[in-house]
Structure 1
Amino acid sequence: MRYPLAALLAVAVCAVLAGATSFTAIADWLYDLDEPDQQRLGFDRGVPAGTTVWRLLTRLDDALVSSVLAGWLRARTPAPVAGRPRRYRTVIAVDGKTLRGARPADGRQVHLLSALDTGTGIVLAQVTVDTKSNEIPSFTPLLDAVESLLGSLAGVLFVADALHTQTGHAEQITRRGAHLLLQAKGNQPTLHAQLKAVPWAQIPVGDRTRDRGHGRKETRTVKAVTLQIPGGIAFPHARQAVRITRTRTVEGKTSRETAYLVTSLSAADAQPADLQKWARSEWLIENQVHNVRDVTFREDLHQARTGTGPAVMATLRNTAIGWHRINGETNIARANRRADRRSNDLITAVTSSYPNTQ
């Protein structure tokens, strides 16, 4: 028997929104619905066997599923509120994650590279990293996917860890009209040495924040300076050098950490307070997406390994997290439980047509 692809994908989305953590759990969620709800999802001639659901989801084009579901979420995202700060811009955090339980036949672990819109909580794109390579070659396909979804990258700011402080990445980003804020570490020793050698003692503090909580005190100090000589630093399109110093005190013990960054934004477009905020947004993809997939959806315990199954399940989890975030939820586990108790409302929300509010 044939089943509608849209119906099968809608079931997968609904089930994971309700907390399903595996292919079996997706099928079980469908079986537990009453017949009218199954029909509302598109199953008017019975429901597929669990193996059918599994076979479909492990054969889908994972990049296409990621693009379709990200677009679906964006169409349901409330319009931006008026009165944004003058220097507001879309900030996209890029980071990779290894699916520790997913090991294909060759024994290598599946690794995914994702791009998060830090303003909405939506993962805009996700690509599977070649098992014989690393994240760096996957950056261009990720940019392509984000650009295809947004239509343009003009003015968008990309933040990422030091692995992606690559001259090729900088060229790719700026060629598309976007901007970068990247940290320099040992993988770019010349750049790191040049940034460290800037006479920071002569540069005034541009911004300072203090946080307290859970027995910890943290002070973050930002200094930024315009790079006057084009090409005077070993990184293309760098317009400002940035130093962020973190001083942390926990149980009477104080530690200090210094990070050096470059940005392609001028001082007029990126003040120290902006740089402070944007630099911290790099961690949002880890804290608000990857950690939730592990803790709430038990991703690292899931041993899906067939075909594109691991990447498709990760995309469904991204979709669930993004859906709950755009609906104002901060506790994703609780939001899952609430959705599971209200399956009728969930089906209505997922299957209804929404005007595009972007």
Structure 2
Amino acid sequence: MEADGAGEALKVIMEFFTLHDHRGLHPPMASSLICVLTVTTPGIDTPPPSVTDGERGGLLAAVSLVPDPRNPRGVRYPLAALLAVAVCAVLAGATSFTAIADWLYDLDKPDQQRLGFDRGVPAGTTVWRLLTRLDDVLVSRVLAGWLRARTPSLAVPRPCRYRTVIAVDGKTLRGARLADGRQVPLLSALDTSTGIVLAQVTVDTKSNEIPSFTPLLDAVENLLGGLAGVLFVADALHTQTGHAEQITRRGAHLLLQAKGNQPTLHAQLKAVPWAQIPVGDRTRDRGHGRKETRTVKAVTLHTPGGIAFPHARQAVRITRTRTVEGKTSRETAYLVTSLPAADAQPADLQKWARSEWLIENQIHHVRDVTFREDLHQARTGTGPAVMATLRNTAIGWHRINGETNIARANRRADRRSNDLITAVTSNYPNTQ
């Protein structure tokens, strides 16, 4: 019965949050006079015409779709209220389950009531017990859908050449432990244009990230309503033929680096006569005591997948020359992409290749430094993954509000808890 209930709840969530996002489709021809993006958010009742209407955009309405694992008899505090306060508390800088309960306890009674606590507030152990029993993948999906519904940039037309780029990367929660003492590894997918983590799955500690890629891809596809035209970037671990087949079968594209885990592919790319290929793009950066030059060369593969990797349409070489304190170093990366040259120029490829680092710099680093994730010793149930999702949500919320310093945004939210609660319970998209 519980499995059937969870499946039905998931169906409702997908009906509620699926965004028919056509940004990833191939752009119109240059001669076209039309470049239109239609983004709709179907509701449970009457579908609103667009995200700009903001119907059902409040946090309490969103998290009410998460199934409650408790026996209905004797439930004193609604799950939606407990999950909403967890989101708000982490938005205000809470770094643990105890800190979430403390933040709720310190609120004025009217603010507690606005979050759904009409009969007092729960003890910290109640908050901890419930949050560690939730389906972490489902919580991630619901909160990502809520953030997308609140994102101003998704409510307006995109430029014709716009392409959704999703960075995939893993992170181990060093302070958290499973029952057998092993650390908790997670695999996440970041929309690099919005700063929203679209999906997160727990990696089997007996394996590695590779088998978890398909469940992650499924979660992203379910959230977006399709992957047509979406570009996935990831580190060399995910340069796998199986991944390439999975991505292209769904109408998406890839940009992946070849290293030692694909020795034949790496050797083939290295053997391309790069000296005969002109530089397609060059950028120069200066700052923090260093000078850096990046050059990109790309060549079309006449037979798609003709090298040791399926669906490869272009071979790419990116060379980075860096000078720090008079010492110069040089690095060369070889990549493949399933995008043809008409849809991926060298300047695009360079920008997209660099976006792979965004999930490390804008998400994982912030979770470690600002939220002290690796010091949090969560060890029960899905607690570690749920807390990671709450941190992802906080970072995404602040990003879509135009914040670049997440620590400062947390402090401001904590000082203005009344304004924070008003904002997250509003039915309308955020404004920057």
| TM-score interval, normalised by the smaller of the two chains | over 0.9
Distance in 1 (CA, whole Å) between partners of 2:133 and 2:112 is 23
Contact 1:87/1:270 (CA < 8 Å) preserved in 2?
Answer: no
Query: 226-235 vs 330-339, which deviates more?
Result: 226-235
Query: 348-357 vs 11-20, which deviates more?
Result: 348-357
Distance in 1 (CA, whole Å) between partners of 2:291 and 2:366 is 25
- The superposition leaves residues 282-339 of structure 1 with CA deviations (integer Å, 9 ceiling, x where unpaired) of 0000000000000000000100010000000000000000000000000000000000
SS at match of 2:353: helix
Distance in 2 (CA, whole Å) between partners of 1:5 and 1:82 is 33
Asked if 1:236 corresponds to 2:310, the answer is: yes
Relative to 1, partners in 2 of residues 1:149 and 1:256: Cα closer, same or farther, differing over 3 Å?
same
Query: 222-231 vs 309-318, which deviates more?
Result: 222-231
Contact 2:151/2:429 (CA < 8 Å) preserved in 1?
Answer: no
Asked if 1:355 corresponds to 2:429, the answer is: yes
Relative to 1, partners in 2 of residues 1:232 and 1:300: Cα closer, same or farther, differing over 3 Å?
same
Please state how far the C-alpha of 1:79 moved relative to its aligned partner. 3.4
Distance in 2 (CA, whole Å) between partners of 1:231 and 1:337 is 51
Asked if 1:41 corresponds to 2:98, the answer is: no
SS at match of 2:319: strand
Distance in 1 (CA, whole Å) between partners of 2:304 and 2:236 is 22
Distance in 2 (CA, whole Å) between partners of 1:244 and 1:273 is 11
Please state how far the C-alpha of 1:65 moved relative to its aligned partner. 0.3
Query: 164-173 vs 225-234, which deviates more?
Result: 225-234
Distance in 1 (CA, whole Å) between partners of 2:252 and 2:131 is 34
Asked if 1:326 corresponds to 2:403, the answer is: no
- The superposition leaves residues 66-88 of structure 1 with CA deviations (integer Å, 9 ceiling, x where unpaired) of 00000010000003487855432
Distance in 1 (CA, whole Å) between partners of 2:234 and 2:405 is 25
Contact 1:10/1:351 (CA < 8 Å) preserved in 2?
Answer: no
TM-score normalised by structure 1 residue count: 0.98
SS at match of 2:152: coil
- The superposition leaves residues 197-250 of structure 1 with CA deviations (integer Å, 9 ceiling, x where unpaired) of 000000000000000001000000000000012442000000000000000000
Query: 39-48 vs 77-86, which deviates more?
Result: 77-86
Please state how far the C-alpha of 1:159 moved relative to its aligned partner. 0.1
Instruction: Specify the alignment match of 1:178 in structure 2.
Output: 252
Contact 1:79/1:357 (CA < 8 Å) preserved in 2?
Answer: no
SS at match of 1:255: strand
Instruction: Specify the alignment match of 2:218 in structure 1.
Output: 144
Relative to 1, partners in 2 of residues 1:231 and 1:147: Cα closer, same or farther, differing over 3 Å?
closer
Contact 2:175/2:183 (CA < 8 Å) preserved in 1?
Answer: yes
Distance in 2 (CA, whole Å) between partners of 1:299 and 1:82 is 35
Contact 2:253/2:339 (CA < 8 Å) preserved in 1?
Answer: yes
Relative to 1, partners in 2 of residues 1:356 and 1:329: Cα closer, same or farther, differing over 3 Å?
closer
Contact 2:400/2:430 (CA < 8 Å) preserved in 1?
Answer: no
Distance in 2 (CA, whole Å) between partners of 1:187 and 1:113 is 19
Contact 1:75/1:357 (CA < 8 Å) preserved in 2?
Answer: no
Query: 338-347 vs 71-80, which deviates more?
Result: 71-80
For structure 1, list consecutive stretches of 5 or more residues without a partner in the other structure: none
Contact 2:303/2:313 (CA < 8 Å) preserved in 1?
Answer: no
Instruction: Specify the alignment match of 1:290 in structure 2.
Output: 364
SS at match of 1:19: coil
Please state how far the C-alpha of 1:356 moved relative to its aligned partner. 11
SS at match of 1:95: strand
SS at match of 1:93: strand
Relative to 1, partners in 2 of residues 1:204 and 1:84: Cα closer, same or farther, differing over 3 Å?
farther
Contact 1:243/1:261 (CA < 8 Å) preserved in 2?
Answer: yes
TM-score normalised by structure 2 residue count: 0.81
Contact 2:401/2:431 (CA < 8 Å) preserved in 1?
Answer: no
SS at match of 2:155: coil
Please state how far the C-alpha of 1:103 moved relative to its aligned partner. 1.2
Distance in 1 (CA, whole Å) between partners of 2:418 and 2:341 is 51
Relative to 1, partners in 2 of residues 1:357 and 1:151: Cα closer, same or farther, differing over 3 Å?
farther
Relative to 1, partners in 2 of residues 1:8 and 1:80: Cα closer, same or farther, differing over 3 Å?
closer
Query: 347-356 vs 246-255, which deviates more?
Result: 347-356
Distance in 1 (CA, whole Å) between partners of 2:87 and 2:385 is 14
Relative to 1, partners in 2 of residues 1:156 and 1:230: Cα closer, same or farther, differing over 3 Å?
closer
Contact 2:199/2:216 (CA < 8 Å) preserved in 1?
Answer: yes
Instruction: Specify the alignment match of 1:308 in structure 2.
Output: 382
Distance in 2 (CA, whole Å) between partners of 1:264 and 1:187 is 19
Please state how far the C-alpha of 1:13 moved relative to its aligned partner. 0.3
Relative to 1, partners in 2 of residues 1:19 and 1:231: Cα closer, same or farther, differing over 3 Å?
closer
- The superposition leaves residues 95-153 of structure 1 with CA deviations (integer Å, 9 ceiling, x where unpaired) of 00000001122111100000000000000000000111100000000000000000010
SS at match of 1:210: strand
Contact 1:209/1:221 (CA < 8 Å) preserved in 2?
Answer: yes
- The superposition leaves residues 47-81 of structure 1 with CA deviations (integer Å, 9 ceiling, x where unpaired) of 11100000001000000000000001000000348
Query: 103-112 vs 242-251, which deviates more?
Result: 103-112
Distance in 2 (CA, whole Å) between partners of 1:152 and 1:77 is 19
Please state how far the C-alpha of 1:354 moved relative to its aligned partner. 2.7
SS at match of 1:209: strand
SS at match of 1:80: helix
Residue identity (%): 94
Please state how far the C-alpha of 1:352 moved relative to its aligned partner. 1.9
SS at match of 2:387: helix
Contact 1:222/1:244 (CA < 8 Å) preserved in 2?
Answer: yes
Please state how far the C-alpha of 1:349 moved relative to its aligned partner. 1.2
SS at match of 1:89: coil
SS at match of 1:211: strand
Relative to 1, partners in 2 of residues 1:225 and 1:346: Cα closer, same or farther, differing over 3 Å?
same
Contact 1:75/1:356 (CA < 8 Å) preserved in 2?
Answer: no
Relative to 1, partners in 2 of residues 1:154 and 1:240: Cα closer, same or farther, differing over 3 Å?
same
